Structure 1
Amino acid sequence: MTDTQQQTGRLVPEDERTWWKESVVYQIYPRSFADSNGDGVGDIPGIIDRLDHVADLGVDVIWLNPVYESPQRDNGYDISDYRAIHDEYGTMADWEALLEAVHDRGMKLVMDLVVNHTSVDHDWFQRSRARDPEYEDYYIWREGDGDGPPNNWESFFGGSAWEYDEKRGEYYLHLYDTSQPDLNWRNPAVRQDIFDTIEWWLEKGIDGFRMDVINLLSKAPGLPDGDPDGEWVGSEHFVDGPEMLPYLEALDEQVLSNYDILTVGEMPQLTVETARRYAGEDGPLDMAFHFQHTKLDYDGGERWAVGDWELPELKEITRRWHRGLDDDGWNALYWENHDQPRVVSRYGDPENYRHESATLLGTFMLTRSGTPYVYQGQELGMTNADWESMESLQDVDAQNHARKLLDSGDHDEFDDIADVVGYRSRDNARTPMQWSDDENAGFTDGEPWLSVNANYETVNAAADGGDSVTEYYRSLIDLRDQYDSFVYGRYDDLHPDHERLYAYTQTLDDADGRVHEQMLSVLNFSETTATVDLPTTVDGASLLLSNYDRDAVAPTTDHEPYEARVFQLE
């Protein structure tokens, strides 16, 4: 405990505290973080070289995207060997050096767990397609219906979720890319192999897992057709399937519960109710990622169409998740990750108020109860890039959907769809980290695997000093470390219908229901000056932090565009 923490007071008893609830997580996408050898691809030694940048933010945990052996069809989420390091990223010795360096800096390391599917290059799949008796049933194979695939399920990346394999003479299921066949979790041997692999990594000293699309493991018996008009055709038969909870409970009982670790599940179509089932007080996981707030700008709910969004929608989603998990569960807070475009370009103003909107969005994430996840470059206010051709895209998902849009006959050329594909592409989150205004943003001495965002000369870590987005993130994380109410407090929305200003409190009560500590955040989510009426109880508000240059200000005075203010209330 620091002197500052002693002065401000830690109000939650030690036996009620949990390290992963009090942590701030920083996500590293290794392919794009730092290249140490000039081959244009980020690597583990590069991460070690830049580790002090992460530690200096004040974060507690690093989540490392996959570095396992992989043909990189989906940038590492197509794993061919769970117990080896992909050679472009380094060696197992490099990984061990990274783990030691992270721990030496007082941080923890969480690995990505991808066990819904493997790569087609995995030995298990090669032996399964060859009908090796030991592995024949490791994947989901079907003969088809005579005219084509066994059912109408769709891949998330577009097209049928089934691919015909000439060698085996059957179709295999792939809910993502054709190179990512789904494992057959009904087979006990599959589950045991996965459990053994998870334990192998935990024994190497890691501190937890982020679990990729973990609620897709269980498929409905008989694999029936899905609703052809559904958002993801077939998902009612493979999202939260009948054996999903038992699978995770067995994993927890046999492996996870033996270690003091962080576990967070990425769960498509997650609801508050299912979140409590998986990550409630008695659930097998600590927390789960939902996607509801990342779909505000979907036009008519359509991912590959861009529409306007309204602040009350964000408030309603936020309120629902806080209320739903206050007593049974824990929120995972995030804006960006390797699959989400840059939030400043979506919910802020990258042209006129990049600094202000980047820091406001960071304030919203870091001043509420839950565990925040900061994605690399978010602390710089990095933005979406410009994508001028199909060839400039590396994201297999964006490429597939671009072809689908062009094949529909509604568009003649890439220029017709460049705005929506460029806005939505996952490549926006994967452009190389912008370290400096040197060539290739200081990411590599070679040719980068993905083009660097053209604004790197002004948006980079070296230029982002003093009154910067990065410094503001440090201040936010420091505040979170000082005051328990930001972590364990009760969230209350003060004006759910206000269309520009977002005002909420985080309140920490004692056992008798008396207020111990209360914080107020007021955020202007617009490019115009705005005001809001607040309760008289804010009269004694003391300003703790603002993204504008202010020594003191009242919560109710005019808020400048994208201004964020954080107060402590009497």
Structure 2
Amino acid sequence: MNNFQDKVVYQIYIKSFKDSNGDGIGDLKGVTEKLDYLKELGVDYIWITPFYASPLNDNGYDIMDYYQVDPLFGTMEDLENLIAQGKKRGISLMTDLVFNHTSTKHEWFQKALAGDEEYQKYYIFKEGEFGEPPTNWVSKFGGSTWEYVPHLKKWYLHLFDKTQADLNWENPKVREELKEVVKFWRGKGVEGFRFDVINLISKPENFQNDTIGDGRRFYTDGPKIHEYLKELVKDTGIRELMTVGEMSSTSIEDCIRYSNPKEEELTMCFSFHHLKVDYKNQDKWEIMEPDLIELQKIFRNWQLGMQKGGGWNALFWCNHDQPRSVSRFGDDKAYWLESSKMLATFLHLLRGTPYIYQGEEIGMTNGYFISIEEYKDVESINYYQIMIEEGKTKEEALKILRERSRDNGRTPMQWNQEKFYGFSQVKPWIPFGKYEYPITAEEQVGKEGSIFSYYQELIRLRKERSAISRGEITFFDETPGIIGYKRRNNQEEILVFCNFTNQDLSLKTQWKKDDFFVLLQNYVKLEENGKRNSLRPYETLVLLAES
């Protein structure tokens, strides 16, 4: 197995990264144009969200042809050139594969609808009773997970949108089809794969109503998931590539199995428990302040649990499905600079592989849209209607969307102060965020003290310091609001302290002042090494001791 511990991945949401042809939508040539920017940042891989042929009902996660580049994003030649130009700069490409479901526009599903029984077995069609769906499961996007097809007198399963039909992994033909997809893209020079909601592919043998939940307990980390992953990896020869699984509502125990090299499944896992600490009553659409005690507990449990079991974490705050971290866990106004850097420090010095989401390295914030017409995300639009039907006012529903919508992470990348922020020559497919001050890459690249330069330093430290890339981790019992941990490897020891509040807080942990010096911090450099007993609002302090 290759060593990925000192690598850093940059996620590109292609529609919003860079438009090269003036249609208001980001594309593959736009990514190629910005490879020098990514090289300067220092990343090793770029993960690009789906660029395959798609109706784009779920922004490309509804694939209708796994082998074709959607004309909206360019051509196969554009992709091949991107891969080649990336390799010249030491940057590998990771692609996004959606294997839990296809678009209902996919040829397989269209044949199923036409009555082809062979292709009906590619999906999960069931008969209901008394006009009711086969189960009472709730879709991730709201409503039932079942859609009725009158002329077939059957329902098909869709854990997400009704235009995303779940594939039947019990069918060996389906598994063989998907292996061929992996081999095809590997042959194109792709060197990493991110598997979308991959831990949902194994469905239960018997479908039944969920009397205590929404159904997810029956299909999350399902009965044959590890068998399926081992088969996929073995038969496609991707064990030596970087592979990451998006694991919905998963467990530490399963993620150890997914990512422990001895299991020969995946390189690492995304888990999302830390991004639910501001869900009131575990409901995404009910907001509250982040529970920092719970946040610390989750990181501690996952870091120590995965370490003990030999698993490996994919580390992230933001992605195309999440609000911006500085707006969520920091302060995007009074302490925008400090909290952006603190959140980056906390994440990048943990045990695991860090993922930077486009714009995170310049401190992009939530979009703060003011009307429902500005939203493009199918989930947001669905839940807006659900909230209105439940009795919320339009302003109450919009306030929740401003905190929760996936579109917060999908506003276009802001490159410079030109019209349309250098993203495009025309009005983009989705509005820009509404900021109180300018946030652009041009203002930060090469500027001392900028968030961009801070990210460069974090990436450099991971490559230079084995305590960060390979060391063990332990946590301190700190003042509530401060999370502190230690990384250690051989003769190197690093202490990390992060204040997640807008208050001055005292440090409980003590260290021999002369043994440590300041390696990194987000406020002005200190004159005296390590002599601190408190942290300022959103301050982070990183101390190094070398024997």
TM range, normalised to the smaller chain?
Answer: over 0.9
CA RMSD of aligned residues (A): 1.5
Deviates more, 1:451-460 or 1:462-471: 451-460
What is the match of residue 126 of structure 1? 110
The 2-side partners of 1:342 and 1:200 are apart by 34
Q: Is the 8 A contact 1:84 1:92 kept in 2?
A: yes
Structure 1's unaligned 5+ residue stretches are 1-16, 510-515
1:237 positional shift: 1.3
1:494 maps to a residue whose letter is F
Question: Aligned runs of 1:8-47 on 2, under 5 Å?
Answer: 18-47=2-31
Aligned to 1:304, what secondary structure does the other structure show? coil
Give the TM-score of the pair, scaled to structure 1: 0.92
Cα 1:555–1:171, aligned 2, differ >3 Å: closer, same or farther?
A: farther
What is the match of residue 541 of structure 2? 565
1:555 positional shift: 5.1
Q: Is 1:81–2:65 an aligned residue pair?
A: yes
Q: Is 1:241–2:225 an aligned residue pair?
A: no
Structure 1: which 4+ aligned runs deviate by more than 6 Å? none
Give the TM-score of the pair, scaled to structure 2: 0.96
Cα 1:554–1:256, aligned 2, differ >3 Å: closer, same or farther?
A: same
Question: Of 320, 332, 347, which residue of structure 2 is paired with 1:365?
Answer: 347
Q: Is the 8 A contact 1:389 1:414 kept in 2?
A: no
Aligned to 1:543, what secondary structure does the other structure show? strand
1:269-305: CA deviation from partner (whole Å, max 9, x where unpaired) = 1111111122223221111111111111111211111
The 1-side partners of 2:507 and 2:437 are apart by 38
1:484-532: CA deviation from partner (whole Å, max 9, x where unpaired) = 1001111111224x213222110113xxxxxx11011122222122221
Q: Is 1:478–2:460 an aligned residue pair?
A: yes
Q: Is the 8 A contact 1:44 1:89 kept in 2?
A: yes
1:58 positional shift: 0.7
Question: Of 146, 160, 163, which residue of structure 1 is paired with 2:130?
Answer: 146
What is the percent sequence identity of the aligned residues?
40
What is the match of residue 520 of structure 2? 545
What is the match of residue 274 of structure 1? 254
Q: Is 1:304–2:285 an aligned residue pair?
A: yes
1:161 positional shift: 0.3
Cα 1:84–1:538, aligned 2, differ >3 Å: closer, same or farther?
A: farther
1:18 positional shift: 4.2
1:167 positional shift: 4.1
Deviates more, 1:432-441 or 1:453-462: 453-462
Aligned to 2:262, what secondary structure does the other structure show? coil
1:267 positional shift: 0.8
Q: Is the 8 A contact 1:522 1:555 kept in 2?
A: no
Q: Is the 8 A contact 2:280 2:287 kept in 1?
A: yes
What is the match of residue 499 of structure 2? 524
What is the match of residue 343 of structure 1? 325
Question: Aligned runs of 1:52-451 on 2, under 5 Å?
Answer: 52-227=36-211, 229-230=212-213, 233-257=214-238, 260-283=240-263, 284-327=265-308, 328-408=310-390, 410-411=391-392, 413-451=393-431
Q: Is the 8 A contact 2:15 2:26 kept in 1?
A: yes
Question: Of 429, 451, 467, which residue of structure 2 is paired with 1:469?
Answer: 451
Question: Of 470, 476, 492, which residue of structure 2 is paired with 1:488?
Answer: 470
1:563 maps to a residue whose letter is E
Deviates more, 1:76-85 or 1:169-178: 169-178
Q: Is the 8 A contact 1:315 1:493 kept in 2?
A: no
Q: Is the 8 A contact 1:493 1:505 kept in 2?
A: yes
1:308 positional shift: 1.9
Q: Is the 8 A contact 1:344 1:381 kept in 2?
A: yes
Cα 1:548–1:287, aligned 2, differ >3 Å: closer, same or farther?
A: same
- How many residues are paired up? 541
Q: Is the 8 A contact 2:5 2:353 kept in 1?
A: yes
Q: Is the 8 A contact 1:67 1:76 kept in 2?
A: yes
Q: Is the 8 A contact 2:530 2:543 kept in 1?
A: no
2:516 maps to a residue whose letter is A
1:532 maps to a residue whose letter is L
1:59 maps to a residue whose letter is V
Cα 1:35–1:555, aligned 2, differ >3 Å: closer, same or farther?
A: farther
The 2-side partners of 1:135 and 1:177 are apart by 20
The 1-side partners of 2:11 and 2:170 are apart by 32
The 1-side partners of 2:275 and 2:336 are apart by 19
1:422 positional shift: 1.8
Structure 2's unaligned 5+ residue stretches are none
Aligned to 2:509, what secondary structure does the other structure show? coil
2:409 maps to a residue whose letter is A
1:148 positional shift: 2.0
2:280 maps to a residue whose letter is D
Deviates more, 1:418-427 or 1:536-545: 536-545
The 2-side partners of 1:446 and 1:168 are apart by 45
Q: Is the 8 A contact 1:393 1:427 kept in 2?
A: yes
Deviates more, 1:533-542 or 1:474-483: 533-542
Q: Is the 8 A contact 1:35 1:444 kept in 2?
A: yes
